Amino acid sequence: MGKPKALVDKGKCLACGGCISVCPQDAITMCSSKAIVSKENCIDCGICIHACPVGAISNEVY
């Protein structure tokens, strides 16, 4: 089993950019109006998960 990483629910994300602005790893980018986490860079600190106003981010074990 792999390590947990942040995962954005594309159906819920409203492209506010908040998660991107607080990610200490620069692991998130906006792609076609949805935030996308790069698994390689994410350290699962959970900061983005708490910052999302609509609860679109969770951590998943890959």
Which helix (H) or strand (E) segment is 58 a member of? Answer: strand 57-61
CB of 2 to ligand SF4, least distance (A): 14
Phi-psi bin for 19: left (phi > 0), alpha (psi -120 to 50), beta?
A: alpha
CB of 56 to other proteins, least distance (A): 8
Q: Report how far residue 1's alpha carbon sits from residue 15's, in angstroms, rounded to the nearest whole number.
A: 30
Contact between 26 and other proteins per CB under 8 A: yes
Contact between 41 and other proteins per CB under 8 A: no
List residues near other proteins by CB under 8 A. 14-18, 20-24, 26, 29-30, 47, 49-58
